[in-house]
Amino acid sequence: MKKLLVISFFVLLVVSAFSEVIPIAQIYKLKEGETVEATGVVLVEPSALMNKTTWIQDSTAGIMVYGNLPTLKLGDVIKITGKTKLYYGILEILPDKIEVIGKSEVKPVNLNELFKKLAEQNDGKVSSQKIGEAFNSVMSMLVTLEGTISSIQGYQFTVKTEYFEILIYLRKEANVSTKDLKVGDKVSVTGIMYLYKDTFEILPRNQQDVVKK
């Protein structure tokens, strides 16, 4: 039975349609505080970026999970039940029950490609409003981008692309160093899309998520 569950995460979504499990994107349409049941792939091991925190993602969206979490590995497919809560603008699930039901892999959303399509739909331009809407649409998801470092300061640096600029924040728990980086370097960055005090930022999970080109 376990082997069948491992075959494809997306099969789980089809099966879930006949139960109480709902797509993560649908959770964002519910009232805060409702009890939900969902399945998703673990994007980062608990507490590897923030204390008692992980993120999961299905084919529709990603969401933050906060609480007393069991041991989870990157790529674990989990079934989670819990109440939702809004935390400084980010929706999260406070889990009552978590069950590992398989393994899978998440392909990060390519922000360069996303914004290229937006530009093609808007006469080659992307307004600041559209930028915010695009970032918000991939909140708590695994994203990736390529661009040029425009500034570096302490545990953070900014990456500029053709259509947008975004802050890359390096959590101490991730142990990501910037010693080999400088302004003007071209980099590829992968991480969790996050929002802190109305500022969108990407949180790399480890050193391998920041690659100098």
Continuous segment of H or E residues that includes residue 112:
helix 111-121
Centroid of chain to Cα 139: 6
Asked whether the predicted pLDDT for residue 176 surpasses 60, the reply is yes
Do 65 and 41 contact (CB within 8 A), yes or no?
no
Q: How far is CA 88 from CA 97, 186, 199, in A?
A: 24, 32, 11
Who contacts 77 (Cβ-Cβ below 8 Å, separation ≥6)?
5, 9, 12, 39, 40, 41, 42, 100, 101, 102, 103, 104
Q: What is the pLDDT of residues 41-53, one digit of tens each?
A: 999 999 999 999 9
CA dihedral 143, 144, 148, 154 (to 10 degrees): 60
Mean pLDDT, all residues of the chain: 91
Do 35 and 82 contact (CB within 8 A), yes or no?
yes
| pTM listed for this prediction | 0.88
Average pLDDT over residues 115-143: 94
For residue 18, what pLDDT band results from cuts at 50, 70 and 90? very low
